Structure 1
Amino acid sequence: MNRRQFLSIAGAFAGCAGSISDACAIAHSDTSSSIRSLVLVDLEGGNDALNTVIPIADARYRVLRPHLAISRDRALMLDERTALHPSLLPLMSAWRARDLAIVQGVGYDAPNRSHFRSRQIWDTASHADEYRADGWLDRVNEFHASSVTVSRITLHGFDTHENQLDRHAARLAGLASQLASLRASLIASGAWSRTLVMTRSEFGRTARENAAGGTDHGAAAAHFMMGGRVRGGLFGMPPQLDRLDADGGLPVGVDFRRLYATVLDACGQVDSSSILGARFEPLRILRV
């Protein structure tokens, strides 16, 4: 596989270990000093960001989720106001090492609640009312001599309309263990500084739990970026639980294309404006 190819690895959640191994092998194969491997981890179904990155100090969180809220004594505290789901414990070493960034409030204006349409918007880096056939990564390969290898890993099972507590905990545990294993392997090989890992999901979920013990399709969500050049910490806009949209979704504070611009600028040789159709300000997440 050459560097200009796009690797799509769409495995079931239980089979994602092989996908992570493939991504790891690709990152190991490059010995240059700049970002050369991008690992996109798609949380298919719409991850519940509010129970992933928890506004633990906001009393409205427990009011909106009397049965789904994660208690403070179980949560993994990041600071006095923010915590991670306990299933994400394997990621705490990356957090303490400051190579895990958490970007909150990511989404786009006029969010679409359809799985298919919202994935299409993310894949094409388009506006909600814009329809494109070409993906943003296709445009990178078409217009630029890219030397970045992209691995795409799809983890299923995040569409938690019912019985969310146990289901979501299991999905997050699998995600965390796989990412921690990938990080450890790439650190050992010396490839971690040349790798960026980024999560994506078509949308977040509603702030209020539903009658079936789950949550429904929402809007903004938190996402992870990891790598040896990542400047760890909290970025973006924390959940605004007093500003929910008409369908109960979290408001957007960071356009998702700013994540793409961050990646494109880090990889070099790529004009992010020509790929994304406009200038999107990169997030100050990466060390120079």
Structure 2
Amino acid sequence: MKRREFLSMAAATGAVLSMPRAFSASVPTSGVVPQPYACATAAGHRGKLLILIELKGGNDGLNTVVPFADPAYYALRRHIAIPRDRAIALDERMALHPSLRPLLPLWRGGQLAVVQGVGCAQANPSHFRSMEIWDTGSRADVYRRDGWLARAFAQWRVPQVSALAATFGRVEAGPFAGLSFAHASRDSWAHVLNPDDARCFNRSNVNLADDDRVTGDAFDASIAPPTRPATFPDSIDAALRTARDSAQPGSYGAIRVTLDGFDTHANQPGRHAALLEELAQGCATLHAELARHGRWNDTLIITYSEFGRSARENMVRGTEHGGAAAHFMMGGRVRGGMYGQPPDLARLDGTGQLPVAIDFRRLYATVLGPFWALDARGILQDDVKPLPLLRA
């Protein structure tokens, strides 16, 4: 393979599209991806790390954070509601699904925030369009191709700042779409097959012909899929290794991991319980390992999904595409507690869905402003206020 073809498959911005260890047996060398500064040894203060957990398919917020004190919840969901005696009460009205028990230590430690009523005004019921809105961080009537994190990385185009980006569990660039080598530093790290075996190289030392220059469009090039799909624990493991390897003074990073399967149109209870258990175990693992390596206080974890589910169950013990839903934010700087408006099932919108109380972009504004100290308004191109849930 020519060097131009090799680099075109690999190109990413001041960051990388990384592959987990489980991919190593089947990813060809053409799937190599660059990652700046990941060979450096961490010392002293590390930069702020964002971990996005995508709940792909549309997570049912009502059965995730349960309004167990509301009789309307049980009236609307006679077959799929979480029994009151099994729900894990957080306060006098709201509770966690029993599968989320591994999150309790974070809640009790004041490092888990539950943000209720999150969504997009004028939400679109299409998975594709709704996720496009969330990935670009735009209003429903605005169409963009660049991801909100790509625009954030563009603000880090200065020599002294290194930035890491990685995604596990899904090959689409999503919020990273539009990253280009123009935002990268010259020092990069290549993931070749098994990341543990990769060797460092300096892009400035690679002799490129004039027609070998890499453009940002190459970031969206498809990468050969593995023969065996990575599991969510694989993705969590890969995210942790990437976070550890990339840590260095002044660095910043964003990692996305995807947990698929939340489009629960039928037979939801068992399937949803298993997915939430995977989510909770993954978050507990991230907390334990990042704390052990001294990175928890500089990490912010956020869950997100294209939409919630219908307030009323359907005829096959499932739910349809819905409106607002609860999401989690956790980390060492998070001021734990309940935020937003509890679901009011007596005041559904005209389509029978939960209305949006918190614009989803306020989650992003919290990352961009208080957490990363970037110009959130410039990146989101709207005056979106951050949520008051981070400690100084």
Over alpha carbons, which structure has the higher Rg?
Answer: 2
Structure 2 residue 346 is the aligned partner of structure 1 residue 239: no
Which residue does 2:80 correspond to in 1?
Answer: 68
Q: What secondary structure, in the 3-state scheme, does the structure 1 residue paired with 2:317 have?
A: coil
Which residue does 2:286 correspond to in 1?
Answer: 182
Q: CA deviation at 1:248?
A: 2.2
Output one character per residue of 1:52-84: Cα deviation in whole Å (capped at 9) or x when no partner: 001110110000000111111100010111100
Q: Residues 86-101 of structure 1 correspond to what in structure 2 (within 5 A)?
A: 86-101=98-113
Q: Residues 168-179 of structure 1 correspond to what in structure 2 (within 5 A)?
A: 168-179=272-283
* Cα distance between partner residues in 2 of 1:285 and 1:34: 21
Which residue does 1:125 correspond to in 2?
Answer: 137
Structure 1 runs of 4+ off > 4 angstroms? 6-12, 28-35
Letter in 2 for 1:111: A
**49, 61, 67: which is aligned to 1:55?**
67
Tell me which moved more, 208-217 or 147-156: 147-156
Q: What secondary structure, in the 3-state scheme, does the structure 1 residue paired with 2:391 have?
A: coil
- From the superposition, tell whether residues 237 and 8 of structure 1 become closer, same or farther in structure 2 (CA, over 3 Å): farther
* Cα distance between partner residues in 1 of 2:300 and 2:44: 14
Letter in 1 for 2:358: V
- From the superposition, tell whether residues 71 and 11 of structure 1 become closer, same or farther in structure 2 (CA, over 3 Å): farther
Which residue does 1:248 correspond to in 2?
Answer: 352
* Cα distance between partner residues in 2 of 1:32 and 1:84: 37
Output one character per residue of 1:205-251: Cα deviation in whole Å (capped at 9) or x when no partner: 00000001000000101100010000000001111211212332211
Aligned 8 A contact 1:123 1:135 in 2: yes
- From the superposition, tell whether residues 39 and 165 of structure 1 become closer, same or farther in structure 2 (CA, over 3 Å): same
**12, 15, 25: which is aligned to 1:5?**
15
Percent of pairs with identical residues: 55
Structure 2 residue 142 is the aligned partner of structure 1 residue 38: no
Letter in 1 for 2:51: V
* Cα distance between partner residues in 2 of 1:264 and 1:182: 21
Which residue does 2:369 correspond to in 1?
Answer: 265
**134, 138, 148: which is aligned to 2:252?**
148
Q: What TM-score do you get using the length of structure 1 for normalisation?
A: 0.90
Letter in 2 for 1:61: Y
* Cα distance between partner residues in 2 of 1:29 and 1:253: 43
Q: CA deviation at 1:31?
A: 5.1
Aligned 8 A contact 2:46 2:295 in 1: no
For structure 2, list consecutive stretches of 5 or more residues without a partner in the other structure: 1-10, 23-37, 158-162, 164-250
* Cα distance between partner residues in 1 of 2:20 and 2:382: 30
Q: CA deviation at 1:143?
A: 3.1
Q: CA deviation at 1:142?
A: 1.9
Q: CA RMSD in A?
A: 2.3
- From the superposition, tell whether residues 92 and 76 of structure 1 become closer, same or farther in structure 2 (CA, over 3 Å): same
- From the superposition, tell whether residues 34 and 87 of structure 1 become closer, same or farther in structure 2 (CA, over 3 Å): same
**249, 253, 275: which is aligned to 2:379?**
275
Aligned 8 A contact 2:48 2:372 in 1: no
Q: CA deviation at 1:33?
A: 4.4
Which residue does 1:165 correspond to in 2?
Answer: 269
Q: What secondary structure, in the 3-state scheme, does the structure 2 residue paired with 1:68 have?
A: coil
Aligned 8 A contact 1:40 1:199 in 2: yes
Output one character per residue of 1:128-150: Cα deviation in whole Å (capped at 9) or x when no partner: 11100111111111233464211
Q: What TM-score do you get using the length of structure 2 for normalisation?
A: 0.66
For structure 1, list consecutive stretches of 5 or more residues without a partner in the other structure: 13-25
Q: What secondary structure, in the 3-state scheme, does the structure 1 residue paired with 2:62 have?
A: helix
Q: What secondary structure, in the 3-state scheme, does the structure 2 residue paired with 1:235 have?
A: strand
* Cα distance between partner residues in 1 of 2:44 and 2:125: 41
* Cα distance between partner residues in 1 of 2:321 and 2:43: 42
* Cα distance between partner residues in 2 of 1:224 and 1:166: 21
